[in-house]
Amino acid sequence: MSCEECRAAIRSEGAWNRFDSGRCRYCAARRIQHIKGFKRLPREQISARCTAALADAKAHGWSETEIRALVRGDMAVEPAAKQDVRKNP
Ligand SMILES: [Zn+2]
């Protein structure tokens, strides 16, 4: 796993969220998941913020289809790669 923000999100079980990095599609999806959790905001505002975050993700080159699929799943974090396992037995 190369994304430090994703690692921090796993360590804190989702309590840690920092989304100033457009380098990671999982962070981009997690940002939208986080916005969807703003239950005190009116639904139109949540929807507008999600749309803006999705546009931001697309501006960073991520596929809208992929981001939407990640958002529908569990907390979006970068999966551990096989080479990571070999590096840290
Ligand atoms: Zn990430």
69 φ/ψ angles, rounded to the nearest 5 degrees: -65, -40
DSSP 64: H
Q: Is 84 domain-assigned?
A: no
Number of domains in the chain: 1
Question: Is the whole-model pTM more than 0.75?
Answer: yes
Contact 84, 1 (CB under 8 A): yes
Distance 46 CA to ligand 1 centre (A): 22
Gap from CA of 68 to ligand 1 centroid (Å) = 16
CA of 44 to the centre of ligand 1 (A): 27
Tens digit of each residue's pLDDT (9 = 90 or more) over 24-72: 999 999 999 999 998 899 999 999 999 999 999 999 999 999 999 999 9
Asked whether the predicted pLDDT for residue 86 surpasses 70, the reply is no
Cα 6 to ligand 1 centre (Å): 4
Residue 37 lies in a domain: yes
Residue 27 lies in a domain: yes
Q: 1-14 pLDDT, tens per residue?
A: 688 899 999 998 88
Q: Which domain holds residue 13?
A: 4-72
Is pLDDT at 82 greater than 90 in this prediction? no
52 compared with 18, residue with greater pLDDT: 52
User: Could you tell me the distance, in angstroms and rounded to a whole number, from the CA of residue 43 to the centre of ligand 1?
Assistant: 26
